[in-house]
Amino acid sequence: MNDRHATTRPCGPGAWTDGWYRFAHHEQSPNFGPRPTSTAPDMVVLHSISLPPGIYGGDGVRQLFLNQLDANAHPYFKTIEGLQVSAHFYIQRGGELWQFVSCDARAWHAGASGYRGRDNCNDDSIGIELEGLEGDGFDDAQYESLQVVLAAITQHYPVAHVAGHEHIAPGRKKDPGHGFDWVRLQRAAGLSPQCFPEGKNIS
């Protein structure tokens, strides 16, 4: 694996090419499509994922996003056989940063969702997956990489909202869950409290 740790990377104007962040390891997922006409991403959605659930350090997430997951490799994989999903970014426990879909394109990470009075959050959001299990904590290196890539995203795109999957699909999704430190992210990102879900910001 090509180790790309976002904490050491700048986020100036040369950081992007056609929606691809220069300082990530790139693997293009087939699971994407165009955004609606005249739609720019103004929200970042945070998720947590691990395959198998609670097992870290494997290649399952990458394989899932590339439609290469071997359904016979683990009993859990059988339950998601044929699933076609993707996220723009994936941050592993050590902070390694992967990108699977151009941020100019529509990734398949949100599913049935709604936020800010709008449905279909895939249309106008950037999805970031953190290697983890909903409700559990996340590593310092992940917060550091998230901070850097979020800064790069907000400099390049008109982001006005940062939310979790649990906030855009309440009752259906619970990630990243109570183990994620929203206040830590807000302090590091320097974004307005209004950018974050109610009750998850600095009062």
Beta bridge mates, 131: 49
Q: What is the dihedral of CA 37, 38, 43, 46, to 10 degrees?
A: 30
User: Is 27 in the active site?
Assistant: no
Choose the catalytic residue: 27, 81, 96, 129. 129
190 Cβ partners below 8 Å, 6+ apart? none
166 Cβ partners below 8 Å, 6+ apart? 134, 173, 174, 175, 176, 177
Angle 155-150-42 (CA atoms, 0-180°, nearest 5)? 65
φ and ψ of 85, to 5 deg: -140, 170
As annotated, the active-site residues are: 129
